[in-house]
Amino acid sequence: MMLLQGKTVLITGGSRGIGAAIVKLFAAHGADIAFTYASSAEASEAIVKELSSTIKIKAYKSDAASMTAAEQLIKDVLADFGKLDVLINNAGITKDGLLLRMTEEMWDSVLDVNLKSVFNLTKYAVKPMLRTGGSIINMSSVVGVFGNAGQANYAASKAGIIGFSKSVAKELGSKNIRCNAIAPGFIATEMTHVLEENTKDAFLSNIPLKRLGDANEIANAALFLASDLSSYITGQVINVCGGMCV
C-alpha cells in the first residue's frame, strides 16, 4: 500500500541518520521528495541517484537556521515541485557540556539550528498549505520531555519544539493543517556510535525494550503522521523510545 502517493514532502537534514531513513521510506511509499543538507553533498547526491528512477527527488543545500534561506528554500521547492503537502523539520545538532562550561556560542548555535529552524521553515511552508491542508512533523527528543544533564541547550531546544508544535496545531487546525512532534529515544546513529560503552549501558538500563532504536523505527512514526492514517491526530508528541519515558 502506497501511503504517500501524490504527496510532496520536504525533509530538512535528509542526507544521513534519521533524515535519510525518512527519505528512503517515504520514497518507497510514492512521495515526491525535497530534502536539505548542510554539508553532506556526496551523501545527498548518492540518495538522489538511488531514488530518482522511481520518484521525483531533489536535494538542496540550505541553512535551516537562516530565515532568509528558509524563505528561499520554500520558494525553490514550490517552483520545482508545484506544491507542498508535508514538512518534516528534522535538522539538528548537539553541542553538549555542563552548564558552567557551556559557552554562549554552544547555546546559541544549538537553539538556532534545532529550534529557530522549525519556526523558519514552518512559517513559510504554511502559506502554500493554507490552500490545500498539510501535515507538519517536528523532530523533538525524549531529552526535551524529561531533560538530561550536560544537555541544557539541546533539551531546551527540543522542549521548545514541543510547545511550538502544540501551539501551531491549535492555530492552524481549522485550516486542515496538522502539526505533531516525534520524540525519539536512544537511536543508533552516527551521533550515538561515538559514545563510550559505559554510557550506552547506562542508557540501556533505563529502556524497557533493552536495545537501541533504529532510524527506520522513527521513519515509521513519521510515515504514519504524514499519511492520511493520522488524519484526526494533531498537537501530539509521539515518544519512540522503547519505553524510556514510562
The active-site residue out of 37, 60, 154, 232 is: 154
The three-state secondary structure class of 1 is: coil
Return d(Cα 153, Cα 94) in angstroms, integer: 8
d(CA 224, CA 117): 23
Helix-helix angle 152-172:117-132, to 10 degrees: 20
Q: Do 18 and 43 form a contact (C-beta atoms < 8 A)?
A: no
What angle, rounded to 10 degrees, do the helices at 17-28 and 41-51 form? Answer: 10
Q: Is 154 a catalytic residue?
A: yes
Catalytic residue numbers, as ranges: 154
